[in-house]
């Protein structure tokens, strides 16, 4: 996502808490995550600072969540990758906070 920032800008992100989508079933040998679409949605709490040189442009703390994570579509490159729902959550936050991707 850093490539979407304007030249000379730096985004620092501190991840404070992560609760992955789904839930781990107790007793499973391989920590299988079961996703039911109930109260098991992904949640991420982060603190960020956007800077240009030594000037702070934007900063904040966000509590991200996607209660409808099982609905909608995932981009092809995310479907088979790690943590697809969390990745989509972060990409949506980034676009909402810093603007749509540059062509």
- What pLDDT does 22 receive? 84
pLDDT tens digits for range 12-38: 999 999 999 888 777 767 777 777 777
pTM for the predicted model, two decimal places: 0.81
Residue 102 pLDDT > 60: no
- What pLDDT does 70 receive? 85
What does the alpha-carbon distance between residue 43 and residue 65 come to, in Å, rounded to a whole number?
4
pLDDT tens digits for range 33-74: 777 777 789 999 999 999 999 999 999 999 999 998 888 777
Q: Which residue has the tokens 């909608």?
A: 72
* 3-class SS shares of the chain: helix, strand, coil, % to 5: 20, 35, 45
């Amino acid at each position: 996502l850093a490539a979407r920032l304007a030249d000379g800008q730096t985004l620092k992100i501190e991840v404070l808490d992560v609760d992955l989508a789904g839930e781990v079933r107790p007793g499973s040998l391989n920590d299988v995550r079961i996703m039911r679409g109930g109260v098991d949605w992904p949640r991420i709490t982060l603190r960020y600072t956007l800077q240009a040189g030594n000037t702070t442009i934007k900063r904040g703390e966000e509590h991200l969540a996607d209660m409808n994570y099982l609905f909608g579509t995932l981009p092809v490159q995310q479907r088979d990758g790690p943590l697809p729902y969390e990745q989509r959550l972060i990409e949506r936050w980034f676009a909402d906070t810093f603007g749509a991707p540059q062509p």
